[in-house]
Amino acid sequence: MAAGFRAARRTPGGRAGLAFLFFLVLLALFGPLLLPDPFHQFDLLEASNTAPGPDHPFGTDQLSRDVLSRVVSGARISLAVAALAVALSVTLGAGIGLVAGYWGGPVDATLMRLVDGALAIPRLFLLLLVLSVPERVPLFALILLIGATGWFTTGRVVRAETLRLREETFVRAAEALGASRRRIIFRHLLVNTAGPLLVAATLGVGDVILLEAGLSYLGLGVQPPTPSWGGMIMDARPVLEAAPWVGIFPGLAITLTVLATNLVGDALREALDPRGA
Amino acid sequence: MTRVLDVRDLRVSFPTSAGRRFHPVDGVSFTLDRGETLALVGESGCGKSLTSLALVRLVPAPGRVDAGSTIRLGDTDVLALEGEALRRIRGKRIGMIFQDPMTSLNPVFTVGDQIAEGVRAHARMSRADARERARALLQEVGIPDPAGRLDAYPHQLSGGMRQRVMIAIALAAEPEILVADEPTTALDVTVQAQILEVLDELRRRRGMAVLLITHDLGIVAGRADRVAVMYAGQIVEEAPTLELFEHPSHPYTQGLFASVPRITGPVTRLTPIGGTVPPPTAWPSGCRFRPRCPQAFEKSERPPELLPVGPAHRMRCWLAERSG
Amino acid sequence: MARWLARRTAQALLTLLVAIVLLFLLTHLLPGDPMAREGMAHSLSAAQREALDARYGLDRPMLAQLVAFLAGLLRGDLGTSFEYGRPVTTLLAERLPATLLLGGSVLLLNFTVGLWLGVRQAVRKDSAEDRWLTALSLAGYSTPSFWLGLVLAATIGVRWHLLPPAGMRDPLVSGGLLAQTADLLRHLVLPVLTLSLVSIAGAMRYQRTAMLETLHLPFILTARAKGLSERQVTWRHAWRNALFPVLTLFGLWLPILVTGSVFVESVFAWPGLGSLAAAAVGSRDYPLLIGASVLVAAIVIAASLLSDIAYACLDPRVRLS
């Protein structure tokens, strides 16, 4: 982890990305304490659809809610969803990849066929399907489902590494000396895949933010009244002409955040996983 | 004898991360006359490959040829050329053969294509004519069924054949000078002799000058007219081949000969040269061979110049002052 | 070569089968009543419910349903749309051309401009141009496609009236083939631009990396030593070899385009598969959603197969073995 931060700071892009993310997390954690309630509707007659000004730096929307507070609240949700979903994906990928690589044989073959098939269906379509069947999808289920659809590539990487390690002579040599085969592979696996996994996780956060925003835009992701960036853009459609700031700021927020994660991910990749680039 | 190549005080430098520059080629001078073969001999790391690349200004970035160097191709000052003029010497006046023919040939083009390309780069010619030239060249380098081979891809040919193709490419534009950088190192021993034979034959027939770069003394005997031994970026001994083999004078050269087995003569123990080759970033002061030299003495602390030790025979060693 | 082809095709078909089974299982194993969409689940009598179930085959055991589904697939029958009441296959066939036009145009743009920029970046590595292009393409990749589409539609389309912000054709435009085509092209610009901006980063980056690796290979030195111009070295020798890794990644790349088209088509009301799928979500039209997903999976697998074949045809080392 520590090595990761150091690595990310090496490129100017990485530094900028890291700085932005740091700032965003701070804002998400402490912003709501300083800003007006995102659900609060100011005077509907006077204050709806006002342009950005000293009172409301990002303006207000058609329901007179302060756009800045909503964007910051949305940050909490988007970052939380992304972080948790990615954590799930990486864990699943590492676990299943390890199992597939270690056991090999029919278990491995079946799992890989499944992964191939699943990869053929674009992640969005998978989620569109599973999210539209149930009546309501609570937030934790959303996170679970997003996480469950994102482990395939990580799984392949871990599996490949496990397979490679299984055949290494030093593993057999250590085994002959009495060490537990499982422990050796596991330890070396951890060391070798930590880098690529960190890179995948970072880039994955950006992917999930975009995905979740898209789902919310279609009405399938984070449900109102919980504010989310994608949902805000959906709500902004009727007033795009009259009050463009309602839609522009959430979109900018998404773009900058994802850009930041991509820059950090890139910097990490250069340092930790050159062959995967 | 016409002088085709005149190199004087060639220095190639590379930057270090600290901002200074080091010189893997540090003041190399030699000449080439028409029809002769000069062998440039040395271990890896002595700078011989870089020297050959410098001749056509293909030293890889961030390296560069330093000011103060002179490379003259007949009347042309190579270092003063730019752009189109520079491009025109490559291939047309100097042809180059590299070490590994498998990776030195483009895998997606046929052999005939790659040779014809070399022809058309320097002469206006129809595709058909260029193809015919390519066929003729393949024949000249001794490839059986040249017409059939034109449409072969590099991976379909054996190592020896690929190297012949490389030679054909190098000759495509009829250069005056052929530079062969370790032409046989990547080949089987049996094939090595064939390739050298081809090179020799071509040189005689076309009257080219050949710069043969190698670390293998065995190749040099019988193939080269003159030999220049390189060490640590400098030429440390030069002489006609026979003279060098009969009277190796520089302690490094003597060390090289002592470490090579001989067919004739008594069977003696091989003596390697003690120590390791110094890296170009840290040339020793004074005589660069001093740390490894069994005959080093106080004067070795001063960098020696090239001094005569015999007929057309010079070496970079203060010991030359002792012998007559 | 023929044997490899047969093996690879069989593999593709197997993958497709797995994908289809997966899709089927997902919809049928999730909590939730497909019939709830009808909104009438509560108000239906038992008998009516039974009849509805029978009509859609929902009263049979899962395995039987799956087999029926697969059998139907082979016949080209993907069921009937809940919303439109028409065969799903017909609906998909109607909307496919529009998506192919949009997707094809984006691919064309990405594979020409994108590859060209990638090569430029590699040749001018670490220059200001290189850094800027990376930053810009990364910014494009990070932008949500639906938002970008909205912004472009609202500004270029609505506010400045430069290009039509929605639809595929203007019903008011009359005239011959030329006028119709021109109208189509005008409508095509914004959606293509949007989708291209968010996806071109992929092509640029892969090409840049591949070029950088190729430029270090020994045969590039041979080409220079022959006296070839830099342009010949870059394009004829280096690029021909750097193209391969980019081609194989083509198959990996398609899912991104398909995903983007769902949003872009919705925003621009482009009558293709993407907007159809988005609408099907809103109306909980499962047969249509499953059908669209199956089609999309088939397209992705086919594209991957095609790019592998293209690679095999272009690389003489593979072709002649």
Using one digit for the tens of pLDDT, what is the confidence trace for C171-228? 777 778 888 888 888 889 999 999 999 999 888 988 998 999 899 899 999 999 998 9
Kindly list the residues from chain B whose CB atom is less than 8 angstroms away from the CB atom of residue C224. 58, 90
The percentage of chain C sitting over the pLDDT mark of 70, rounded to a whole number, equals 90
Scanning every residue of chain C, which has its alpha carbon at the shortest distance from the alpha carbon of B104?
C219
Specify the length of chain B in residues: 324
pLDDT of C43 above 70: no
Q: Are C83 and C34 in contact (CB under 8 A)?
A: no
If pLDDT is split at 50, 70 and 90, which confidence band does C122 have? very high
B104/C219 touch (CB, cutoff 8 Å), yes or no: yes
What's the pLDDT band for C105 if we cut at 50, 70, 90? very high
pLDDT band at C32 (very low <50, low <70, confident <90, very high): low
Say whether the ipTM exceeds 0.90.
no
**Short-list A254, A242, A173, CA closest to A208:** A254
Greater confidence, C49 or B10? B10
Q: For position A168, what pLDDT does the model report? A: 76
Q: Give C196→chain A minimum CA distance, Å.
A: 16
Residue B229 host element (H or E) = strand B226-231
C229–B contact, CB cutoff 8 A: yes
Least confidently predicted of A257-261, B259-263, C110-114: B259-263
Looking at residue C144, its pLDDT comes to 94
Probe site for chain A from C131, C142, C207, C306 (most A CB atoms < 10 A): C142
Q: What is the per-residue pLDDT for C41?
A: 47
| Candidates B56, B108, B169; nearest CB to C241 | B108
Q: Do A251 and C147 touch (CB under 8 A)?
A: yes
Let me know: does B208 contact B151? Beta carbons within 8 Å.
no
Contact C292 A258 (CB under 8 A): no
If you compute the radius of gyration of chain A from its CA atoms, what whole number of angstroms results?
Answer: 22
Helices (H) and strands (E) in chain C, counts: 14, 0
Closest to A232 in 3D by CA, of A85, A62, A83, A82? A62
Mean pLDDT of chain B: 87
Give the whole-angstrom CA distance, residue A227 versus residue A76.
9
- Please indicate whether, in this complex, the C-beta atoms of A240 and C150 are within 8 angstroms of each other: yes
Quote the pLDDT of residue A4. 64
Of C22, C139, C256, the CB nearest to A255: C139
A8 vs B99, higher pLDDT = B99
Q: How confident is the model at residue B154 (pLDDT cuts 50, 70, 90)?
A: very high
Chains contacting A (3 or more CB pairs within 8 Å):
C
- Residue-wise burial string across B147-179, b where 16 or more C-beta atoms lie within 10 A, e elsewhere: eebbebbbebbeebbbbbbbbbbbbbbebbbbb
CA distance to partner chain C, nearest, from residue B88 (Å): 6
Using CA atoms, how far residue B229 sits from B239, B241, B259, B305, C13, in Å, is: 9, 11, 15, 14, 64
- Above 70 in pLDDT, residue B1? no
Q: What is the pLDDT of residue B324?
A: 46
pLDDT digit string (tens) for A71-96?
Answer: 888 898 999 999 999 999 999 998 88
- Window 163-222 of C, Cβ < 8 Å to B: 217-219, 221-222
C144 closest CB neighbour out of A117, A119, A251: A251
Please check the confidence at residue B304 and state whether its pLDDT lies above 90: no
Do the Cβ atoms of A255 and C144 come closer than 8 Å?
yes
Instruction: Give this prediction's pTM.
Output: 0.82
Q: What is the per-residue pLDDT across B162-193, written as a single tens digit (0 to 9) for each? A: 999 999 999 998 899 999 999 888 888 888 88
Q: Out of A117, A134, A251, whose CB is closest to C18?
A: A117
For C146, which of A13, A121, A217 is closest by C-beta distance?
A217
Mapped onto helix, strand or coil, the DSSP state of residue C270 is coil
pLDDT score of C39: 45
DSSP 8-state code for residue B284: P
- Which of these ranges, A72-76, C58-62, C94-98, has the smallest mean pLDDT? C58-62
- What pLDDT is attached to residue A136? 77
Sheet holding B234-240, edge to edge: B94-97, B177-181, B209-214, B37-41, B226-231, B234-240, B313-316, B306-310
| Average pLDDT, rounded, for chain C | 84
Q: What is the mean pLDDT of residues B285-314?
A: 85
* B60: closest chain C residue by CA: C221
Using the predicted structure, report yes or no on whether residue B104 has a pLDDT greater than 50. yes
Looking at beta carbons, which residues of chain A come within 8 Å of C128? none
CB atoms within 10 A of CB C212: 16
Contacts of B88 in chain C (CB under 8 A): 227
Compute CA distances A48 → A37, A239, A250, B51, B272, whole Å. Answer: 15, 11, 17, 77, 90
Q: Are A165 and A171 in contact (CB under 8 A)?
A: yes
Q: What is the pLDDT of residue A2?
A: 65
Q: What are phi and psi of A276, to 5 degrees?
A: -85, -10
Note the helical H segments in B24-126: 48-55, 83-89, 101-104, 111-120
Residues of chain C with Cβ-Cβ distance to B105 below 8 Å are 219, 222
**Does residue B93 surpass a pLDDT of 50?**
yes
CB contact under 8 A, C293 and A241: no
Q: In angstroms, what separates the C-alpha of B239 from chain C's closest C-alpha?
A: 29
Interface contact C19-A258, CB threshold 8 A: no
Please check the confidence at residue C254 and state whether its pLDDT lies above 90: no
Q: Do chains A and B touch (3 or more CB pairs under 8 A)?
A: no
What confidence category does residue C118 fall into, taking pLDDT thresholds of 50, 70 and 90? very high
pLDDT band at B205 (very low <50, low <70, confident <90, very high): confident
Lookup: tokens for C101: 């036009």
Phi, psi angle pair for B259, to nearest 5°: -95, 5
For residue B4, how many other CB atoms are within 10 A of its CB?
A: 22
A122–C143 CB contact, under 8 Å: no
- Positions in chain A short of pLDDT 70: 1-5, 42-48, 273-277
Report d(CA A172, CA A174) in Å as an integer.
5
pLDDT at B293: 86
Residue of C nearest to B120 (CA): C228
Of the pLDDT bands very low, low, confident and very high (cuts 50, 70, 90), residue C38 is very low
Tell if the CB–CB gap between C221 and B166 is shorter than 8 Å: no
Chain A residue with minimal CA distance to C261?
A: A124
CB contact under 8 A, C317 and B155: yes
A276: closest chain C residue by CA: C209
Chain C hits for A218, CB-CB cut-off 8 Å, are: 266, 278, 281-282
Is residue C312 less than 8 Å (CB to CB) from chain B?
no
pLDDT range class, residue B286, cuts 50, 70, 90: confident
Residue numbers of B between 30 and 69 with CB closer than 8 Å to C: 56, 58
What does the pLDDT look like over B33-84, one tens digit per residue? 988 999 999 888 788 889 999 999 999 888 888 888 999 988 888 888 888 8
pLDDT band with cut points at 50, 70 and 90 for residue C40: very low
Chain C hits for A129, Cβ within 8 Å: 23, 26-27, 286, 289-290, 293
